Chain A
Amino acid sequence: MSIRHSLLALLQDQPRYGYQLRVEFENRTGATWPLNIGQVYTTLDRLERDSLVTKDGDDGDGHVIYSITDAGKAEVVSWFAAPVERNNPPRNELAIKLALAVTIPGVDVQGIIQAQRVASIRALQDYTKARRDTTTSQRSGDTAWLLVLDSLIFQTEAEVRWLDLCEARMVQQAQSAGQARRTSNGVTEDAAPLSADSRR
Chain B
Amino acid sequence: MSVQGPQQVLELAGVSKTFGEGSTAVAALRDVDLTIDAGEFVAVMGPSGSGKSSLLALAGGLDRPTSGGVFVESTPLAGLGLNDLARLRRRAVGYVFQDFNLVPTLTAAENVALPLELDGTATRKAHRQALDALRQVGIPELADRFMDQMSGGQQQRVAIARAVVGQRRLILADEPTGALDSTTGQGVMEVLRSRADAGAAVMLVTHEARHAAWADRVVFLRDGRIVDQAAALHDPAVLLAQAGL
Chain A residues within CB distance 8 Å of chain B: 26, 30-34, 114, 117-122, 124-130, 132-134, 153, 156-157, 160-161, 164, 167-168, 193, 195-196, 200
Return the 6 tightest CB-CB contacts between A and B, nearest first.
A34-B244, A125-B232, A124-B213, A160-B209, A128-B213, A130-B236
Q: How far does the alpha carbon of A156 sit from the alpha carbon of B27 in the complex, in Å?
A: 32
| Cβ–Cβ contact B27 & A196, under 8 A | yes
Interchain nearest-CB distance for A138 vs B (Å): 15
Is B1 an interface position by the 8 A CB rule? no
Residues in A neighbouring B82, C-beta threshold 8 A: none
Contacts of B222 in A (CB 8 A): 114
CB distance from B192 to the nearest CB of A (A): 12
Q: How far is the CB of A117 from chain B (nearest CB, A)?
A: 7
- The answer on a CB contact under 8 Å between B234 and A121 is no
The answer to whether A122 and B233 have CB atoms under 8 Å apart is: yes
B47 proximity list for chain A (CB < 8 A): 164, 167-168
Tell me if B233 and A121 are in contact (CB < 8 A): no
Q: Which of A114, A124, A129 is the one whose CB lies under 8 Å from B210?
A: A124
B132 at the interface (CB under 8 A from A): no
- Per a CB cutoff under 8 Å, which of A121, A127, A156, A193 touches B230? A121
Whether a CB of chain A sits under 8 angstroms from the CB of B214 is yes
Name A32's contact: one of B207, B231, B234, B243 (CB within 8 Å).
Answer: B243
Q: How many A-B pairs with Cβ below 8 Å?
A: 81
Cβ contacts under 8 Å, A195 to chain B:
23
Q: A125, B215: Cβ atoms under 8 Å?
A: yes
Interface pair B210/A157, CB less than 8 Å apart: yes
Complex: chain A residue closest to B223, CB-CB: A200
What residues of A have a CB within 8 angstroms of the CB of B223 in the complex? 196, 200
* 9 extra A-B contacts, CB within 8 A, seeds A132-B214, A153-B213, A193-B24: A34-B245, A124-B212, A125-B231, A130-B239, A156-B209, A157-B209, A160-B209, A161-B209, A168-B47
B236 touches A153 (CB 8 A): no
Q: In the complex, what distance in Å separates the CA atom of A8 from the CA atom of B207?
A: 43
Note all chain B residues with C-beta closer than 8 A to A133. 236
Task: Tally B residues with Cβ within 8 Å of A.
Answer: 33
A26 to B220, CA, bound (A): 35
Q: Which of B45, B212, B236, B240 has the most CB of A within 10 A?
A: B236
Q: How far is the CB of B161 from chain A (nearest CB, A)?
A: 21
B235 at the A/B interface (Cβ < 8 Å)? yes
B236: nearest residue on chain A (CB-CB)?
A: A130
Task: State the Cβ distance, A195 to closest chain B Cβ, in Å.
Answer: 7
Name which residue of chain B comes closest to A133, CB basis: B236
B171 on the A face (CB < 8 A): no
Task: Select which of A32, A122, A157, A167 is within 8 A of B232 by beta carbon.
Answer: A122
CA distance A49 to B245 in the complex (A): 30
Q: Does the CB pair A114–B220 fall under 8 Å?
A: yes
Between-chain CB contacts (< 8 Å), 29 pairs: A26-B245, A30-B240, A31-B240, A32-B243, A33-B243, A34-B243, A117-B228, A118-B228, A118-B230, A119-B230, A121-B212, A121-B230, A124-B213, A125-B213, A125-B214, A125-B215, A126-B233, A126-B234, A126-B236, A128-B213, A132-B193, A153-B213, A156-B209, A157-B209, A160-B209, A164-B47, A164-B207, A167-B47, A196-B223
